[in-house]
Amino acid sequence: MATIQGITFIGIGNMGLASVQALVKANTPVTIWNRTTSSPKVQSAIAAGATRAPSLSAAISANSLIIICLLDYPTIASLFSPLPSSTFTNKTIINLTNGTPRQSTTMQTFFKQERQASSYFDGAIMVTPQMVGTPHSMLFISGEDSPSFQSISNTLMPIGKPEYLGPDITSASRFDLAALSAMYGMFAGGMTGMGLLKRGPGSPKIGQTVKEQIVPIVGALVEYLGLLAEAWDGERWGDSMGNPMGMQVQGVRNIVTACREEGVDGGVLEVLRRQMEGVVESFGADSGLAGLGVLLL
């Protein structure tokens, strides 16, 4: 197994800076490239010990392992497409940019078939910049095969623990978006609920209330997601787990109605109400939340 000496990091935004700082701290020599060379983040990366390459081509030439963490996939395409194919010979690319499963496939084709890179891994960092390099930091990685992944695994470790999801290039993006979808769904419902709290007498401050009375309830319910996934796997649409859909949809109707009465935009929950009523129509009032899965696919 080849030992990786140094790495090149493309994209010194919030994630890039945090990752480079963690890599340098672990004694990895890092060459960086960023569109805006005057960015304070670039200066911080240099101050931490990274070397700034004079051009994108020079940055890629500097090392065989290239990590990309840019805003989105179109940005990657616009930066890398103009470079000649020879730039990527014998290069291993790890792309940590957020994107869709289809974009990951397109990018794999671009780097492996159109540009002859030796390896292309698609990935995602699953923590905020503040958490990069801490024991809580983790990454999803997919593509190539297990021995190839083993050859890059230790290099990624200072950024976060890499979890290899197998050769299907789309997996990292799929897992990333699944986790983000759960997170944003929670935030969307949470903000709607906070709107109702804010409409309370005297437009109250809600920080303390949310931390002490709402967060523990929501936290305790997170594991329910795993039970729903199992019910979906088993196509147990009728399994209400003690919470029949007829009862639950009435609760959601009440939220939507309260939002209307109190002048809060309850549009996010309106969509869920419609879908839940569809489950009641299809499977009856005694069915369970997992029935939503049938309407989703």
Interaction of residue 137 with ligand FVH, rule CB under 6 A: no
| Residues 295, 279: Cα–Cα separation, whole Å | 8
Candidates 7, 8, 9, 12; binder of ligand FVH (CB under 6 A) is 12
Give the DSSP letter string of the chain: -PPP--EEEE--SHHHHHHHHHHHHTT--EEEE-S-TT-HHHHHHHHHT-EE-SSHHHHHHH-SEEEE--S-HHHHHHHHTTS-GGGGBT-EEEE-----HHHHHHHHIIIIIIS-BSEEEEEEE-S-GGGTTSTT-EEEEESS-HHHHHHHHHHHTTT-EEEE--S-TTHHHHHHHHHHHHHHHHHHHHHHHHHHHHTSTT----HHHIIIIIHHHHHHHTTHHHHHHHHHHTT-TT--TT--HHHHHHHHHHHHHHHHHHT---HHHHHHHHHHHHHHHHH-TT--GGGHHHHH-
CB of 94 to ligand FVH, least distance (A): 13
Q: Which of 6, 49, 129, 195 binds ligand FVH (CB under 6 A)?
A: 129
Please identify which residue in 13, 189, 195, 293 interacts with ligand FVH, judged by CB under 6 A: 13
Provide the minimum distance between the beta carbon of 43 and ligand FVH in the complex, in angstroms, as a whole number.
12
Residue placing its CB nearer to ligand FVH in the complex, 100 or 154: 100
Under rule CB under 6 A, residue 134 binds ligand FVH: no
Scanning 7-15, 110-118, 134-142, 188-196 for contacts with ligand FVH by CB under 6 A, the matching segment is: 7-15
Q: Which of 134, 206, 96, 48 is nearest to 31 (CA)?
A: 48
Q: Check residue 71 for interaction with ligand FVH (CB under 6 A).
A: yes
Give the one residue of 20, 23, 50, 69 binding ligand FVH; rule: CB under 6 A.
Answer: 69
User: Of 41 and 115, which CB lies nearer to ligand FVH in the complex structure?
Assistant: 41
Find the residue with minimal CB distance to ligand FVH.
13
| One of 7, 8, 9, 11 touching ligand FVH (CB under 6 A) | 11
The residues, ordered by sequence, that sit 6+ positions from 262 with a Cβ below 8 Å of its Cβ are 195, 196, 199
The answer to whether residue 34 forms part of the interface with ligand FVH (CB under 6 A) is yes
Minimal distance, residue 128 CB to ligand FVH, in Å: 4
CB of 88 to ligand FVH, least distance (A): 18
Contact flag: residue 53 with ligand FVH (CB under 6 A)? no
Which residues 88-127 are close enough to bind ligand FVH by CB under 6 A?
97-98, 125
Residues in 183-202 at the binding interface with ligand FVH, rule: CB under 6 A? none
User: Interface with ligand FVH includes 75 (CB under 6 A)?
Assistant: yes
Work out which of 7, 9, 16, 272 binds ligand FVH, going by CB under 6 A: 16
Please answer whether residues 171 and 195 qualify as being in contact, where contact means their C-beta atoms are separated by less than 8 angstroms. Answer: no
* Interface contacts to ligand FVH, rule CB under 6 A: 11-16, 34-36, 39, 69-71, 75, 79, 97-98, 125, 128-129
